[in-house]
Amino acid sequence: MELQSAYNSGLQGFQRASNGITEATVNINREAINQQRALNAQQSNAAAQQPEPVQPQPKTPALEQSLVQLTTESLYAEANVRSIKTADEMLGTLIDVSA
């Protein structure tokens, strides 16, 4: 097993997990904004007693799905950090043995 490939695999996995965390966070934020807009529109419609057209918002995954994705990506990032640390420790051990 090459330490460089283990380190690179861990780093690439961490970057993918980081991107997934960002995506899930953006989706959660969009869903929260969409829910707030819908609530505000309902309140203003009830106050005015006349329906107002609500602008369509971009489709986002369900809030629950985004929260699950956030948790999964977080665990994936932690696992990749552990593999990077292990590769680093192995490299340190090899340097100590060869010195």
The residue segments making up the domain with residue 18 are 3-98
Q: Burial letters for 9-44: b for 16+ Cβ neighbours within 10 Å, e otherwise?
A: ebeebbeebeebbeebeebbebbeebeeeeeeeeee
| Chain center to CA of 50 | 40
Q: How many CB atoms lie within 10 A of CB 90?
A: 14
Q: Establish how many alpha carbons lie within 13 A of residue 24's alpha carbon, considering only the half-sphere containing its beta carbon.
A: 17
- Counting the structural domains of the chain, the total is 1
| pLDDT single digits (tens) 61-85 | 788 999 999 999 999 999 999 999 9
55 — pLDDT class (breaks 50, 70, 90):
low
% residues pLDDT > 70 (the chain): 84
Output the pLDDT for position 95.
82
- This prediction has a pTM of 0.72
Please give the C-alpha separations between residue 37 and each of 34, 53, 56, 88, 91, in angstroms, as whole numbers: 5, 12, 11, 48, 53
- Whether the per-residue pLDDT at 51 is higher than 60: the answer is no
